[in-house]
Structure 1
Amino acid sequence: MDTTKHMAMAKVPEITLGFWIVKIAATTLGETGGDAVTMSMNLGYLVGTIIFAVIFFAAVSAQIRANWFNPLLYWVTIVATTTVGTTLADFADRSLGIGYSGGSAILLALLLGSLFTWYKVMGSVSVTTVSSPRAEMFYWVTIMFSQTLGTALGDWTADTVALGYSGAAIVFGGLLLVLVIAHYRTKISSTILFWAAFILTRPLGAALGDFLDKPIDHGGLAMNRYAASIALLGFILTSLMVFRQRAAKAAH
């Protein structure tokens, strides 16, 4: 590819059905993978957060240094954001004693603040504008906050509201369906709908991940966290081969 074509493409994928399938699987992997490190390995939420934060910063740095969109690198970075989001939310909610509702409120404020600052500095929060290092920084910080918020929301719905993991999955799946209908039947901004859907896929993934690996007496299937994570990783890699992803066209 020539340089002109590179400059005309964003560093993020085109938003298609395949994108959302992989996104949900990646957020589910973030839950099982995060729990595998913090719980199955007994490393705790703080150590788990530090480990995944290092991976997150390394992945984001590699993503920003890349000259063009690389599907594998992009999704490695997404998984990194969702694993650090899982352990960070669990650390705040449980170890610091903030609670699910308090953690969700703080993270929502951070997310909205990130989007507001991004908009004020860059003039848009559309993914089609993510073609410069500065825009990418805002993009990945916003995503990390959204993944962390999603974890807290998923746990709050399943535990505090007592809907259970399957109930929480149905709720967030239903909300995503509402957004799909809004996309086709209303004139709501596609950028607003994208970020709403991006946020909601995380608690859906959190609920699905917990449903897979939590004990049966807690409403889960008691699957081995390592096995579940490997199976999800295999599904993601297969999906990336089936649903070929291209870079989104950059806005001018």
Structure 2
Amino acid sequence: MEQSEVLTGAAARGRVTSVTKKLPEVTLAFWIMKIAATTLGETAGDLFAQTLKLGYFLTTIALFLMFVVTLAAQLGSRRYHPFFYWTVILSTSMAGTTMSDFMNRDASAKYLSGGATSLGWGPQGLGLGYPVGAAVLISLLLVVFAVWKVSGMTFQIRDIVTFRGEALFWSAILVSNTLGTSMGDFLSDSSGLGYAGGALLVTGLLAVLVALMKVPVVPNVLLFWIAFVLTRPLGATAGDFLTKPVAKGGLNLGTVGSSAVLLAVLLGLMTYAQLRERRASA
């Protein structure tokens, strides 16, 4: 991504301050990395919470703290660093997975395999269910966007250059990734579509959004945020398709192996993005 300069409030005082952009350009590579990160977020979140049996409660706390640490590094950087940016995306996807599971699920046999009656220490889940959980998260996301609108900050991510604007951006990302997990789990577990069917449905919706980009009356900013939310259930259903048992419609590759492969793919993409960024700024 080419670095550029924008006018800040200092211009009103008679001078112009250069501000280097800290968020990436939205390209095809951006969406490929987003889907890879959200799919890894699903398998890694399930790895800690279910495979390692830490439970939704402890895993949510640990992954939320990871999100805070990665976000601090991103907010503290002076320019766009692909590793910082995509690590935050990954941490929001992982935290969103277990936050959604904690909100929507409970310790019933429907959600726990192998006859288990509990999963890790602490509360076993609020058991709100996917519709109620999604309604809560949609309400939270609308609140974030309302605050964002009132603040006067731009919704165009290429023009977000202030600390407050970036804080609003990452708040929306965390909530949208949690919402996307709820949507993905609903499609996989409750809609009857199954993992592959849910992934195909979301892929079809994303294709419609691509077509709408050619319609002048539809704002691209709106399409971006709808796509950003929808790529999370795509990652959730794809992650479940990779890890869940064959009897449930999955490939039964396991959370460990799937997470390792997805992590290698994401690291490769992040390295490529970092090299491109260095060449662009040289």
Indicate the percent of aligned positions where both proteins have the same amino acid.
40
In structure 2, C-alpha distance between the alignment counterparts of 1:71 and 1:159, rounded to whole Å? 34
Sort the Cα spacing of 1:151 and 1:7 in 2 relative to 1 into closer, same or farther, 3 A. farther
Where in structure 2 are there 5+ consecutive unaligned residues? 7-16, 106-124
Q: What are the within-5 Å matches in structure 2 for residues 119-134 of structure 1?
A: 119-134=149-164
Q: What are the within-5 Å matches in structure 2 for residues 205-220 of structure 1?
A: 205-220=235-250
Give the counterpart letter for 2:59 in structure 1.
G
Give the counterpart letter for 1:93 in structure 2.
N
Give the counterpart letter for 2:245 in structure 1.
P
Given candidates 136, 144, 163, the residue that maps to 1:106 is 136
Q: Determine helix, strand or coil for the equivalent of 1:15.
A: coil
In structure 1, C-alpha distance between the alignment counterparts of 2:142 and 2:86, rounded to whole Å? 23
Give the counterpart letter for 2:64 in structure 1.
A
Q: What are the within-5 Å matches in structure 2 for residues 226-241 of structure 1?
A: 226-241=256-271
Where in structure 1 are there 5+ consecutive unaligned residues? 248-252
Give the counterpart letter for 1:179 in structure 2.
L
Contact kept, 8 Å, 2:154 with 2:160, in 1: the verdict is no
- TM-score normalised by structure 2 residue count: 0.83
Contact kept, 8 Å, 1:107 with 1:148, in 2: the verdict is yes
- TM-score normalised by structure 1 residue count: 0.93
Contact kept, 8 Å, 1:14 with 1:246, in 2: the verdict is no
- Cα deviation for residue 241 of structure 1 reads 4.1
Partner of 1:225: 255
In structure 2, C-alpha distance between the alignment counterparts of 1:194 and 1:25, rounded to whole Å? 17
In structure 1, C-alpha distance between the alignment counterparts of 2:175 and 2:256, rounded to whole Å? 25
Sort the Cα spacing of 1:35 and 1:145 in 2 relative to 1 into closer, same or farther, 3 A. same
Partner of 2:85: 74
Q: Determine helix, strand or coil for the equivalent of 1:184.
A: coil
- Cα deviation for residue 245 of structure 1 reads 5.9
Sort the Cα spacing of 1:68 and 1:217 in 2 relative to 1 into closer, same or farther, 3 A. same
Larger Rg: 2
Q: What are the within-5 Å matches in structure 2 for residues 1-252 of structure 1?
A: 7-94=18-105, 95-242=125-272
Sort the Cα spacing of 1:161 and 1:3 in 2 relative to 1 into closer, same or farther, 3 A. closer
Q: Determine helix, strand or coil for the equivalent of 2:22.
A: strand
In structure 1, C-alpha distance between the alignment counterparts of 2:57 and 2:159, rounded to whole Å? 34
Say which structure, 1 or 2, has more relative contact order (CA 8 Å, 6+ apart): 1
Give the counterpart letter for 1:127 in structure 2.
I
In structure 1, C-alpha distance between the alignment counterparts of 2:228 and 2:138, rounded to whole Å? 14
- Cα deviation for residue 67 of structure 1 reads 0.6
Sort the Cα spacing of 1:160 and 1:10 in 2 relative to 1 into closer, same or farther, 3 A. same
Q: Determine helix, strand or coil for the equivalent of 1:103.
A: helix
- Cα deviation for residue 225 of structure 1 reads 0.8
Partner of 2:10: none
Contact kept, 8 Å, 1:92 with 1:98, in 2: the verdict is yes
- Cα deviation for residue 103 of structure 1 reads 0.4
Give the counterpart letter for 1:53 in structure 2.
F
What is the CA deviation profile of residues 196-240 of structure 1, one whole-angstrom value per residue up to 9, with x for unaligned ones? 000000000000000000111111111121111111111112223
* Equivalent residue pairs, number: 247
In structure 2, C-alpha distance between the alignment counterparts of 1:162 and 1:89, rounded to whole Å? 20
Partner of 1:250: none
Q: Determine helix, strand or coil for the equivalent of 2:161.
A: coil
What is the CA deviation profile of residues 43-83 of structure 1, one whole-angstrom value per residue up to 9, with x for unaligned ones? 00001100100000011111101111100110001000000
Sort the Cα spacing of 1:184 and 1:84 in 2 relative to 1 into closer, same or farther, 3 A. same
- Cα deviation for residue 115 of structure 1 reads 1.0
Q: Structure 1 or 2: larger helix share?
A: 1
